[in-house]
Amino acid sequence: MAHQAERVKLLRGIIDSNRPTREYLEAGRAAAQAFFLSLQQRKELSVAEFRFAGSIAKGTSLNTSDFDLVVFLNNEKPPFSSAVIDVFHKGVQQARVDGGVIHFRGKNNMLVKASAHFRNLELDLDINIAPVLVRGVNSGQPQVSRAAVRMQETGSVSVHVTPQMLEAIRLAKYWAGKVNLHGTKIHGNSFIVELITLEANRISEGEDLEEKFVKFLKTMQNLGEQKIILTKEYSVEDIPARLLFQRPLIMDPANCWDNLGEQFQPGQPAYYALTYYKQAADLALAKIEGARLGDAYYKNPANWF
């Protein structure tokens, strides 16, 4: 156990060294504020407020995390018109920040993507348009976006997120960021990893960071079979029957119509990610087992990734 305690210290060192710096967070806030001010100056829309969401808001981010920004509009309802999206596009193009540059990098019918070069830092911003924050919400449920923002700001799922669990989430995200997905794009990947970490460690009282990480990896070995419903916003009965039988089932805690795992179904763009994650989890678990058996190289957790 003494050797494992030492490995846990080294694991904490890895995630601490990859937490976003104060300069990184300040740069993201400055870029977001510049965009918000640019948008407010446009007469085509009435902008109410903006908030940070996602891992930045919850404190589970790494130094490569995107900044998820949610902009609430007055007098607009989904589905949003192309004119609304175009105003956001122009807002990015006309945003100005001292000592930096903001660039437009893409859009769809729910969000606009931007990047910023600021104080020698490169940042990505995903600018979500409220009242729709999550996929699959129709215009009859504008309140869902508020629930989504609240959940993403506070971690309002059915599992209490302790400081120790936050460490486990950061470590899981660090590992996931090292996995070679061979170009496979996964919608909401960071959020999915967070939910999987919480599900894998529902019962983990007294377990250290290494044990929590092992549980996460074992879940990733069998990602295609998972059923994950962690929410206080709706009941299982609210989930459409067609989703309940899907595997993996990784329900968005703020939206009972959205199985984040649907993209891993056969024929879907992220299907092969299941294989890549399993291979990476198999390898990581073998390395951890090597450390536990006394392999000198794998005693250093930096060699697990």
- What's residue 143's pLDDT? 39
- Single out the residue of 217, 193, 204 nearest to residue 287, CA to CA: 217
Q: Is residue 280 part of a domain?
A: yes
Residues 234 and 142 reside in one and the same domain: no
Question: Mean of the per-residue pLDDT values for the chain?
Answer: 86
Range of the domain at 98: 22-154
CATH number at residue 73: 3.30.460.10
Residues 195 and 99 reside in one and the same domain: no
The tens digit of pLDDT for each residue in 26-82 reads 999 999 999 999 999 998 988 888 888 778 877 888 888 889 888 888 877 767 889
Q: Angle CA(160)–CA(255)–CA(56) in degrees, nearest 5?
A: 55
Stretch among 156-160, 181-185, 235-239, 300-304 having the lowest mean pLDDT: 156-160
Regarding predicted confidence, which is higher, 189 or 72?
189
Amino acid at 226: Q
Residues 295 and 187 reside in one and the same domain: yes
**Residue that is last in its domain, among 133, 154, 175:** 154
- What's residue 162's pLDDT? 85
46-53 and 67-74 as β-strands: parallel, antiparallel, unpaired?
antiparallel
Q: Hey, what are 140's tokens?
A: 């009859």
Q: Is residue 1 part of a domain?
A: no
Our count of domains for the chain comes to 2
Res 152 pLDDT > 70: no
**Under 8 Å between Cβ of 24 and 63:** yes
Residues 57 and 191 reside in one and the same domain: no
- Single out the residue of 20, 188, 45, 39 nearest to residue 102, CA to CA: 39
Q: Measuring CA to CA, how many Å separate 103 from each of 40, 112, 125?
A: 18, 11, 10
**Under 8 Å between Cβ of 97 and 118:** yes
SS3 274: helix
Residues 129 and 182 reside in one and the same domain: no
Res 188 pLDDT > 80: yes
Residues 173 and 105 reside in one and the same domain: no
SS3 74: strand
How far does CA 242 lie from the centroid of its chain?
25
- What's residue 166's pLDDT? 92
Residues 198 and 148 reside in one and the same domain: no
- CA 221 to CA 141: how far, in whole Å? 36
The count of other CB atoms within 10 Å of the CB of residue 299 is 15
- What's residue 140's pLDDT? 40
